[in-house]
């Protein structure tokens, strides 16, 4: 059985469903814009203060939107108990984890393509000067965050209070990663460059590796509990 064929089938199916339903992209994008607007009107003083708030606003928005995306992508497998059919496929755990992670990254990435420019522009961050470096931090941070979100969404998918439990479990576990992302983004927004942010970026990469390994290891057990 081909890993690639299974991965492509699951990821393709999820993206096709999302392109038809558009429920994750529309709701999550609208939600993220509302969060940004609320922060924007919360009474920051001068432009420097507003700019210093941008990294926190960006990562809070990504964290909020992430739970919407992760929960929904796995919930689709539960609605008609399609997960039971998937579990009967040969050697499915690896391809299923990879596919769900890729879909979560793709959907969160699509929303970030809107969120990052909106935050940088509205909070007075010079996008042209720091946009590339910020995009790198966002990409690296999103990878570890999505890995942890993927396995937690799978393991909580059978529970009645899954929508409440996912952020309660996910946020404390990925807090070190999010804090490192905020600090790295803060240095970049302040104009200190990638060199100054290297230490925080190393921490982000380390958490990516840890969360990816842990999530892949736990995903099989999470699936068995969701059948």
Summarize as ranges the residues that interact with other proteins (CB under 8 A): 1-2, 5-6, 8-10, 13, 16-17, 20-21, 76, 79-82, 84-92, 95, 227
**131 Cβ neighbours under 8 A, 6+ residues apart:** 116, 117, 120
Shortest distance in whole angstroms from residue 81 CB to other proteins = 4
59 versus 219: smaller Cβ distance to other proteins: 219
157 or 186, CB closer to other proteins?
157
Residue nearer to other proteins on the CB measure, 3 or 132: 3
The encoded tokens of residue 85 equal 């059919």
Instruction: Give whichever of 60 and 89 is closer to other proteins, judged by the CB atom.
Output: 89
How far is residue 193's CA from residue 191's CA, in Å, rounded to a whole number?
Answer: 6
CB atoms within 10 A of CB 2: 10
Cβ atoms 6, 89 nearer than 8 A: yes
Q: How far apart are CA 105 and CA 70, in angstroms?
A: 9
CB of 28 to other proteins, least distance (A): 18
**C-alpha torsion 27→72→102→88, nearest 10:** -160
C-alpha dihedral (135, 136, 138, 143), degrees to nearest 10:
140
- Minimum distance from CB of 165 to other proteins (Å)? 21
**Least distance (Å) from other proteins to the CB of residue 210?**
27
How far, in Å, are 100, 103, 179 from residue 224 at the CA level?
16, 21, 32
The minimum distance between CB 69 and other proteins, in angstroms, equals 17
Which of 175, 227 has the CB closer to other proteins?
A: 227
């Amino acid at each position: 059985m081909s890993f690639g064929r299974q991965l492509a089938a699951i990821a393709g199916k999820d993206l096709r469903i999302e392109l038809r339903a558009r429920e994750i992209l529309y709701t999550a994008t609208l939600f993220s814009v509302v969060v940004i607007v609320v922060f924007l009107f919360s009474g920051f003083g001068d432009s420097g203060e507003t700019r210093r708030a941008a990294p926190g606003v960006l990562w809070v928005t990504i964290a909020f939107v992430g739970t919407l995306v992760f929960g929904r992508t796995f919930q689709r497998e539960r609605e008609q108990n399609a997960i039971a059919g998937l579990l009967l496929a040969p050697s499915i755990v690896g391809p299923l984890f990879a596919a769900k992670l890729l879909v979560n990254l793709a959907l969160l990435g699509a929303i970030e393509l809107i969120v990052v420019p909106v935050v940088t522009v509205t909070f007075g961050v010079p996008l042209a000067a720091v946009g590339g470096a910020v995009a790198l931090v966002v990409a690296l941070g999103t990878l570890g965050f999505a890995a942890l979100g993927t396995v937690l969404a799978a393991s909580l998918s059978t529970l009645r209070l899954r929508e409440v439990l996912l952020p309660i479990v996910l946020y404390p576990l990925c807090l070190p990663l999010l804090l490192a992302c905020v600090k790295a983004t803060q240095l970049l927004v302040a104009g200190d460059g990638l060199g100054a942010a290297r230490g925080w970026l190393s921490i982000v990469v380390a958490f990516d590796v840890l969360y990816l390994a842990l999530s892949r290891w736990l995903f099989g057990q999470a699936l068995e509990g969701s059948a």
